[in-house]
């Protein structure tokens, strides 16, 4: 009976965990450049005194889906989308270099270029700073040009170039802040082969229909496991009554 109850209990626990991850993905369906989280379960024997006749499951992260999301044309000059593979280098809150596909850029106080989440965008020599300008343009190779205030429109000035990288997918891992980093804390070298599409954003790669179906399945699985635990409890009480009357 304890094996029956234990399996049902662990199943319910993992159904809740799967629902949590799935709902997190669903909540970010409109987040530019978001990468869906993946997870799975592994079987592990229960060790201890006696024969190891029990098995439990543990959650394991399978990383994130790196499939490209659809491109949405915005027409906004500071919106960029990575064309194909590659990443945009940013500065995380702890000062380390990290990578994202989110390209809804903006100019913050002091002229620093940031993503929509407030992370500083990195260029050739650190965070990109935009001087006062009446027009900002980002080229296909990430080159940032501006028309300075007070200058004629035919006198563009190159300010910096976005730091675009393309490390091996297997070397990347996603942090709690949603940014990707290289294993071991190393940094990727710029890759001239990475290009961007200006005036567009890459949408989340979360499949909404699939996520909604998973949400229903996880809820049903949880309900089934709870019913199994109730049945185990009922069978245990029935067995105790039989033992008392025998």
User: Over the stretch 24-44, which tens digit does the pLDDT of each residue have?
Assistant: 999 999 999 999 999 877 666
Q: Find residue 220's DSSP bridge partners.
A: none
Q: What is the pLDDT of residues 188-217, one digit of tens each?
A: 999 999 999 999 999 999 999 999 999 999
Q: Is the pLDDT of residue 121 over 90?
A: yes
Where is average pLDDT lowest: 97-111, 174-188, 228-242? 228-242
Element counts in the chain: helices (H) and strands (E): 2, 18
Tokens of 154: 């035919």
Q: What is the mean pLDDT of residues 52-71?
A: 79
* Count of Cβ atoms closer than 10 Å to residue 241 Cβ: 10
Q: Report the distance separating Cα 145 and Cα 139, nearest Å.
A: 8
Residues 6+ apart with CB under 8 A from 19: 215, 218, 219, 222
- pLDDT number for residue 50: 66
CB 188 within 8 A of CB 182: yes
Note the pTM of the prediction, 2 decimals: 0.81
């Amino acid at each position: 009976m304890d094996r029956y109850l234990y399996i049902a209990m662990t199943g319910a626990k993992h159904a809740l965990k799967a629902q949590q991850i799935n709902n997190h993905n669903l909540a970010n369906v409109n987040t530019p450049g978001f990468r869906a989280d993946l997870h799975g379960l592994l079987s592990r024997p229960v060790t201890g005194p006696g024969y190891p006749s029990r098995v439990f499951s543990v959650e394991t992260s399978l990383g994130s889906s790196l499939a490209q999301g659809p491109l949405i044309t915005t027409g906004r000059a500071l919106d960029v989308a990575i064309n194909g593979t590659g990443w945009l280098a940013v500065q995380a809150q702890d000062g380390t270099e990290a990578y994202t596909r989110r390209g809804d850029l903006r100019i913050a106080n002091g002229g620093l270029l940031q993503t929509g989440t407030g992370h500083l965008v990195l260029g050739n020599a650190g965070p990109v700073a935009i001087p006062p300008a009446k027009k900002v343009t980002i080229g296909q190779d990430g080159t940032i040009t501006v028309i300075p205030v007070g200058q004629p429109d035919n006198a563009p000035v190159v300010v910096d170039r976005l730091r675009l990288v393309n490390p091996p997918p297997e070397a990347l891992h996603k942090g709690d802040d949603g940014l990707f980093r290289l294993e071991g804390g190393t940094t990727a070298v710029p890759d001239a082969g990475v290009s961007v599409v200006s005036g567009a954003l890459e949408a989340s790669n979360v499949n909404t229909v699939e996520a909604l179906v998973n949400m229903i399945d996880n809820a049903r699985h949880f309900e089934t496991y709870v019913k199994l635990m109730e049945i185990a409890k009922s069978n245990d009480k029935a067995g105790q009554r039989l033992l008392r009357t025998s």
